[in-house]
Chains A and B, each alone.
Chain A
Amino acid sequence: EVQLVESGGGLVQPGGSLRLSCAASGFTFSSYWMHWVRQAPGKGLVWVSRINNDGTITSYADSVKGRFTISRDNAKNTLYLQMNSLRAEDTAVYFCARSTYSGSRIDYWGQGALVTVSS
């Protein structure tokens, strides 16, 4: 069974940093592209970032470029999102998700991790 389990969420002050992790199991992690998608409270889905299967290609939404860094450790079957210079508007549930290749559908999603940026 495919499982994606996010962790590392919490309350952080504006300007602070946080690192999210996503532990993957039930599939060959190193064969899949991975994504982070966020959802502000009561709002819709917004794509944040993606990384290819070997970690050599990354993409970001303009709203997080230069502040967030996506990475992965295929030996540990884990995806990461390092979030720096956090702003109130980054408050959201962050979902980890997978796709087969660039342009393919996102077929599995984690349960999400809540990040709250507030003083």
Chain B
Amino acid sequence: DIVMTQSPLSLPVTPGEPAAISCRSSQSLLHSNGNNYLDWYLQRPGQSPQLLIYLGSNRASGVPDRFSGSGSGTDFTLKISRVEAEDVGVYYCMQPLRTPLTFGPGTKVDIK
């Protein structure tokens, strides 16, 4: 199985400041087609997860441009350029490349 790790696991943030979450996979997520099969999700308190970023760096429909994804192979980063209050919740990375699909442990983002 592909093991996903995230850091930090807890991230207190100040509104208006940037934030970054790291995700690493135990195997490369770079496919021969050139795509990195790594997605990011946000689960707000009491809600279902929502897709933020797919294929490593593509913003999902309706996702604000303050969110960006980068990385390749086994190392990926989600960045928020200026945190807003509505960004609090748990962020998960996930690899859909191979079954079983696997998620990172989650990074809890809250306001300082």
Contacts and interface: CB of A to CB of B under 8 A. Distances in A.
A109 B43 CA distance: 11
Contacts of B60: 105, 107
A30 interface: no
Interface residues of A, number: 21
A105 B96 contact: yes
Interface of A: 35, 44-47, 50, 59, 61-62, 95, 99, 103-112
13 contacts: A35-B101, A44-B90, A44-B104, A44-B106, A45-B92, A47-B100, A50-B101, A59-B100, A105-B54, A105-B96, A107-B51, A107-B60, A109-B50
A112 B102 CA distance: 19
A113 to B, nearest CB: 11
A9 B99 CA distance: 25
B101 A109 contact: no
Contact of B97 (A103, A108, A111): A103
B103 interface: yes
Contacts of A105: 39, 51, 54-55, 60, 96
A44 B103 contact: yes
A50 B97 CA distance: 13
Contacts of A112: 48
B92 A62 contact: no
